[in-house]
Amino acid sequence: MNYSRFFNPTSLARQPSAIRVMTAIVASGPPSLISMAGGMPNADLFPIHEASLTLRDGSVLRIPPEQMKKALQYSATPGLPELVQWMKTLQKQMHNPPTRGISDPQRQLDVLITTGSQDGICKTMEACLQEGQNVLLETPTYSGTLSIVKPMRPKMLGIKSDKDGLDPAHLREVLSKWHPSDAKDDSSSIPRLLYLVPNGGNPTGAGLTLKRKKEIYELAQQYDLLILEDDPYYYLQFNEPYIPSLLSMDVDGRVVRFDSVSKLLSGGARVGVVTGPKAVLERINFHMQASVLHTSGLAQTCILSVLESMGQDGLRKHAHTVADFYLKQRDACIAAVEKHLTGLAEWSVPSGGMFLWIRLLHVKDTFSLITEKARAAEVIFVPGQAFMIDEAAPSPYLRASYSLVSPADMDKGFQRLADLLREQSKE
């Protein structure tokens, strides 16, 4: 793999920050090392001395003084070593990535803690994209990624998707404009990056089938694409066994995977996990050294304490409990739309995640309906335009999230939407 072809000049210009290099040396040095290098504050002066976390099951996790000192002090950019190691073990267990132990230092698998997977995606896009460059994005897709990508003004090539996720046939059709050999020509306009959400799609709730993942991976090999596998809903798949990830089939080191603790443990802790080839994670690491230095040590420590108390099996058990909750919520949501929107809208039943993607049958564009009339009727959704590459184009879609609302309120909410649609059709 020639990774340099994926990075823009700004990313290639990034070098290790001197301060972060010193921090790493101090952290790994012998106790006899006398360091007057890092401008670190004296942690003995920090007012927070220790903490305890009471979990819902009544157990109490202690963060003792020595661990609290580390949590409150500056720490390594890639993440607290113990948390990085925990995540490496989890990724091995869940995905068994083929690049885990390979000798090639560029392709060898690595793990990095970011401030939410959002920041991992952001820094990866900021390392790779250039104005006017072709980039492949599933469509519709996560509005947060579109807000990262659009200001960089690449040429966004939307790849169609359906209830089974991104359509490999359309990906093949779009790529057929080039020849695989163009990937060896630096001056070629051939796309180099593919972004997708494989499970519990946002906004669609769609899940990529294994067959499609294999086809997508083969196309990525043929055209030398880097695949950004944005997968915060992996553990919110409603069917088991989980469909194997693209990371699990990544023999080349071309998959950069984004996981998140947001849907299982805490969204506000802002802890994400990037897993992928060292050559790519190094670029993100250098960018973090210049931006945030590292993700909050306190947040990482709290998450690590919970994970260590759960263990890998406990986390999977917790994930099943969470997925079961969202499955019940999904079923209540489907019951409500079947009751109120049959004949007025159409939808596919989500295979994971927390979103239902609804197409209104007699509405050209949902934007004003939702932001004005639905709001007045005291029910709110997200208009489809938010998930489109061309946000100016009318969209008959809306995204409903069933994560927070009770089944009774879902029923009321869709009743209000149905009344609105019937009112509108009389106009």
Ligand X SMILES: Cc1ncc(COP(=O)(O)O)c(CNc2cc3ccccc3n(O)c2=O)c1O
Q: Which of 215, 230, 250, 282 binds ligand X (CB under 6 A)?
A: 230
> Does 199 engage in binding with ligand X (CB under 6 A)?
no
Nearer to ligand X among residue 107 and residue 123 (C-beta): 123
Q: Which of 38, 98, 144, 407 binds ligand X (CB under 6 A)?
A: 144
Q: Which of 118, 139, 199, 237 binds ligand X (CB under 6 A)?
A: 118
Nearer to ligand X among residue 223 and residue 347 (C-beta): 347
CB of 399 to ligand X, least distance (A): 8
CB of 143 to ligand X, least distance (A): 7
CB of 267 to ligand X, least distance (A): 5
Nearer to ligand X among residue 142 and residue 217 (C-beta): 142
Q: Which stretch binds ligand X (CB under 6 A): 12-20, 110-118, 163-171, 333-341?
A: 110-118
Cβ–Cβ contacts within 10 Å for residue 393, how many? 10
Nearer to ligand X among residue 257 and residue 278 (C-beta): 257
**Strands 345-347 vs 272-277: parallel, antiparallel or unpaired:** unpaired
Nearer to ligand X among residue 23 and residue 91 (C-beta): 91
Q: Which of 139, 161, 202, 248 binds ligand X (CB under 6 A)?
A: 202
Q: Which of 77, 134, 139, 260 binds ligand X (CB under 6 A)?
A: 260
Q: Which of 97, 140, 232, 297 binds ligand X (CB under 6 A)?
A: 232
Nearer to ligand X among residue 190 and residue 386 (C-beta): 386
Nearer to ligand X among residue 197 and residue 307 (C-beta): 197
> Does 23 engage in binding with ligand X (CB under 6 A)?
no
Q: Which of 78, 116, 205, 277 binds ligand X (CB under 6 A)?
A: 116
Residue nearest ligand X, CB atom distance: 116
> Does 215 engage in binding with ligand X (CB under 6 A)?
no
Residues that bind ligand X (CB under 6 A): 116-118, 142, 144, 197, 202, 230, 232, 260, 262, 267, 272
